């Protein structure tokens, strides 16, 4: 019964997202021709925006969240049901895949329990909280994906509904590539990119428990690369606006992906002589600007920084503002962790010293670099196998695009290496760099057999292997019953998935926030707002912090008294 309920929940969610994507396409995108998977992606973007804006005033609670189900389904039934038979078949397939992917799984460890799930919990119980980063610094790193998850906790699904959207988003993104492979009208380079990116995602990103916010930003970056290529020789201002929207959503998923805006900027500068500037003021760009504005304003109210924890984006004159010392400490330790500080043997350098003058490189080469190689090297056999079976010709225009993009990708990878050389931050850049590098080497000319159906055969084999692996996992764990069986574990990482125990932090007879009773426990999804014990101890004074709760207009506000 539990598996069937996951299927029904996934189907309703998928229909809601599809309908929302159609509404977005009809009202904002000028009724552009978009396929099923693109409409799902646009539905996720549109509902994320609504959730973000609404949460300024209202909590995304189970009663209110019913509107995200009722209105989209009403719109679909009465206005957008022209292709309902074909779409319901696709929804059923996606829902079945969701059941296979998430049943008897864990949520991402430890980030989901540390701040993803606790923040979703806050969204479900509170409107925007000013200074929430004072309670838990990682709440400054929140992704827009936490908002799309939060709105599917409703009276029909219960709180487990928050676990569905990541799976549908993943399937929508890889469905974009799969659609390109099946579309015979797409040119050879689009099919090549789609094959390589899809194969990589299926091999290295196929576990629900491994998905953090970063994976989705990387996959969306792959899509941005393909959309950039489409625009290179067939420039269209509306399509450029859509590309900018995709880059914006990647940025709102992961702040580091702000550098992806170099792609639409590159296309704009290349074609600016042919652009009528007044046409830039179109609904797509207005929507994107409003989306970014509300996100940055939310960041400011949460942390006093527009881009947390970049000091130059912070305003320090507000009661909820973190100190410059705290911001710099958070920035240094985040960068040091990305540069393998936990693996640093000698420990004679502090965080700031370690990340200076490339002292970190030798430690990084012995740890993170090996992990990166292990993941990225899978691209070489994928590319070689493709070139063995598929004969394609690269035109001079395509070569020019690839060489120009190679330069841009080298810039992006250099920025990644200097600041945050962790695989999950730069996976999209590295995969794309290797893909373009092989084109630049003319490896694409090596061909012995021209088997046009090879792409579908190879991808079908990968999908079959992934399905078998998940069926085996489900079979092996089928008898182990736990709380909320067979949903992914969100209450705790224990075998029983029991709700953890919390300690109430009280001031003037009011509960200010909660902490897990056991220090090494994460907050998970239970009581909100919650902060893991000692989570801020590296960034403030050594004496015990005292957090006060107050009001700021219609918002609750957290401030640190002894900062």
DSSP 76-101: HHHHS-TTHHHHHHHHHHHHHHHHHH
Q: Which residues contact 386 (CB under 8 A, 6 or more apart)?
A: 192, 195, 196, 454, 455, 458
Q: Where are the beta strands (DSSP E) in 386-525?
A: 502-507, 510-516
Name the DSSP class of 275. Answer: -
Q: Taking Cα atoms as reference points, which of 226, 266, 264 lies closest to residue 428? A: 226
* Strand, coil or helix: 186: coil
pLDDT at 32 over 80: no
Q: Alpha-carbon distance 315 to 306, whole Å? A: 9
Q: Are 243 and 267 in contact (CB under 8 A)?
A: yes
For 397-416, write each residue's pLDDT tens digit. 888 999 999 999 999 999 99
pLDDT at 545 over 90: no
Site of tokens 């919390």: 502
pLDDT at 548 over 90: no
Q: Alpha-carbon distance 394 to 460, whole Å? A: 26
| Least-confidence region, from 146-155, 241-250, 294-303, 487-496 | 487-496
Q: Alpha-carbon distance 344 to 238, whole Å? A: 49
Q: Which residues contact 501 (CB under 8 A, 6 or more apart)?
A: 516, 517, 518
pLDDT at 79 over 90: no
Sign of CA dihedral 378, 379, 381, 385: positive
Q: Determine the pLDDT at residue 538.
A: 55
Q: Alpha-carbon distance 376 to 204, whole Å? A: 9
| Least-confidence region, from 28-42, 185-199, 252-266, 533-547 | 533-547
Site of tokens 């900027």: 265
Name the DSSP class of 491. Answer: S
Site of tokens 């000692």: 534
Site of tokens 């998935």: 497
The share of the chain scoring above pLDDT 90, in percent, equals: 65
Pull the structure tokens for residue 186. Answer: 């797409």
- How far is C-alpha 108 from the geometric centre of its chain's CA atoms? 12
Helix (H) or strand (E) run with residue 555 in it: strand 555-560
The share of the chain scoring above pLDDT 70, in percent, equals: 95
Site of tokens 């899809």: 198
Name the DSSP class of 305. Answer: B
Cβ neighbours of 46 (radius 10 Å): 23
pLDDT at 243 over 60: yes
pLDDT at 447 over 60: no
Cβ neighbours of 207 (radius 10 Å): 16
Mean pLDDT of 356-364: 90
Mean pLDDT of 170-198: 92
Cβ neighbours of 455 (radius 10 Å): 22
Q: Which residues contact 385 (CB under 8 A, 6 or more apart)?
A: 458
Pull the structure tokens for residue 120. Answer: 């979703």
pLDDT at 31 over 90: no
Q: Determine the pLDDT at residue 118.
A: 95
pLDDT at 347 over 80: no
For 459-506, write each residue's pLDDT tens digit. 999 999 999 999 999 999 999 999 999 999 999 988 899 989 998 988
Q: Mean pLDDT for the chain? A: 90
pLDDT at 48 over 90: yes
Cis upstream peptide for 343 (omega within 30°): no
Sign of CA dihedral 296, 298, 302, 304: positive
Q: What angle do CA 140, 145, 147 make, to 5 degrees?
A: 80
* Strand, coil or helix: 559: strand
For 317-330, write each residue's pLDDT tens digit. 899 998 898 898 88
Pull the structure tokens for residue 75. Answer: 């719109």
Mean pLDDT of 431-451: 74
Q: Cite the DSSP H helix spans in 126-253.
A: 145-150, 165-182, 188-204, 213-233, 237-253
pLDDT at 219 over 90: yes
Q: Which residues contact 249 (CB under 8 A, 6 or more apart)?
A: 45, 48, 144, 220, 291
Mean pLDDT of 105-134: 92
Q: Determine the pLDDT at residue 365.
A: 93
Q: Are 3 and 10 in contact (CB under 8 A)?
A: no
Cis upstream peptide for 488 (omega within 30°): no
Q: Alpha-carbon distance 355 to 395, whole Å? A: 44
For residue 448, name the pLDDT band (cuts at 50, 70, 90): low
Pull the structure tokens for residue 377. Answer: 């090297």
Helix (H) or strand (E) run with residue 548 in it: strand 547-552
Concatenated DSSP letters of 383-418:
HHHHHHH------HHHHHHHHHHHHHHHHHHHHHHH
| Least-confidence region, from 220-224, 337-341, 452-456, 502-506 | 452-456
Q: Alpha-carbon distance 60 to 53, whole Å? A: 11
Pull the structure tokens for residue 477. Answer: 């764990």
Torsion from C-alpha of 423, 424, 429, 434, nearest 10 degrees: 40
Burial class (CB in 10 A: 0-12, 13-18, 19+), 347: exposed
For residue 443, name the pLDDT band (cuts at 50, 70, 90): low
Q: Determine the pLDDT at residue 186.
A: 78
Cis upstream peptide for 146 (omega within 30°): no
For 6-16, write each residue's pLDDT tens digit. 999 999 999 99
Q: Determine the pLDDT at residue 273.
A: 79
| Helical axes 396-419 vs 213-233, angle rounded to 10° | 150
Mean pLDDT of 47-70: 97
For residue 135, name the pLDDT band (cuts at 50, 70, 90): confident
Q: Taking Cα atoms as reference points, which of 493, 429, 390, 416 lies closest to residue 225? A: 429
How many Cα atoms within 13 Å fall on the side-chain side of residue 304?
22
């Amino acid at each position: 019964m539990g598996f069937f309920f996951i299927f029904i929940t996934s189907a309703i969610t998928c229909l809601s997202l599809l309908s929302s994507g159609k509404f977005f396409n009809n009202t904002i995108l000028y009724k552009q021709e978009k396929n099923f998977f693109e409409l799902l992606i646009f539905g996720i973007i549109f509902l994320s925006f609504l959730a973000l804006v609404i949460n300024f005033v209202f909590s995304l609670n189970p009663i209110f969240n019913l509107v995200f189900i009722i209105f989209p389904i009403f719109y679909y039934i009465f206005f957008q049901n022209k292709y309902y038979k074909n779409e319901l078949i696709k929804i059923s397939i996606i829902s079945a895949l969701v059941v296979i992917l998430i049943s008897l799984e864990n949520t991402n460890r430890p980030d989901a329990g540390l701040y993803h799930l606790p923040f979703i919990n806050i969204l479900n119980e509170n409107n925007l909280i000013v200074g929430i980063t004072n309670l838990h610094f990682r709440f400054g790193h929140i992704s827009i994906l936490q908002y799309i998850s939060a709105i599917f906790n409703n009276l029909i699904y219960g709180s487990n509904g928050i676990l569905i959207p990541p799976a549908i988003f993943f399937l929508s993104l890889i469905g974009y590539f799969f659609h390109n492979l099946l579309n015979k009208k797409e040119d050879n380079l689009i099919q090549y990119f789609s094959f390589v990116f899809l194969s990589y995602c299926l091999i290295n990103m196929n576990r629900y428990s491994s998905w953090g916010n970063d994976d989705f930003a990387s996959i969306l970056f792959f899509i941005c690369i393909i959309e950039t290529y489409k625009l290179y020789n067939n420039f269209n201002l509306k399509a450029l606006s859509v590309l900018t929207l995709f880059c914006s959503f990647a940025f709102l998923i992961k702040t580091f992906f702000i550098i992806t805006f170099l792609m639409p900027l590159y296309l704009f500068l290349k074609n600016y002589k042919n652009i009528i500037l007044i046409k830039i003021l179109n609904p797509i760009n207005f929507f994107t600007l409003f989306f970014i504005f509300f996100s940055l304003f939310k960041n400011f109210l949460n942390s006093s920084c527009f881009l947390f924890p970049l000091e130059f984006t912070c305003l320090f004159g507000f009661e909820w503002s973190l100190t410059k010392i705290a911001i710099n400490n958070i920035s240094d330790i985040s960068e040091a962790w990305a540069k393998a500080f936990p693996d640093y043997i000698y420990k004679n350098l502090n965080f700031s010293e370690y990340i200076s003058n490339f002292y970190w490189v030798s430690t990084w080469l012995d740890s993170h670099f090996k992990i990166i190689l292990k993941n990225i090297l899978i691209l070489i056999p994928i590319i070689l196998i493709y070139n063995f079976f598929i004969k394609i010709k690269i035109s001079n225009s395509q070569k020019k695009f690839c060489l120009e993009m190679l330069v841009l990708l080298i810039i992006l990878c250099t920025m990644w290496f200097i600041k945050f050389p962790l695989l999950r931050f730069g996976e999209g850049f590295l995969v794309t760099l290797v893909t373009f590098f092989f084109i630049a080497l003319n490896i694409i000319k090596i061909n012995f057999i021209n088997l046009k159906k090879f792409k579908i055969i190879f991808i079908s084999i990968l999908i079959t292997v992934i399905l078998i692996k998940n069926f085996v996992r489900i079979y092996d764990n089928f008898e182990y019953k736990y709380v909320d069986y067979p949903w992914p574990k969100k209450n705790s990482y224990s075998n029983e998935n029991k709700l953890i125990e919390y300690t109430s932090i009280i001031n003037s007879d009011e509960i200010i926030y909660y902490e897990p009773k056991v220090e090494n426990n994460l907050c998970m999804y239970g009581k909100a707002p919650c902060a893991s014990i000692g989570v801020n101890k590296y960034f403030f004074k050594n004496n015990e912090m005292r957090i006060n709760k107050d009001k700021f207009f219609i918002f609750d506000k957290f401030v640190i008294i002894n900062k």
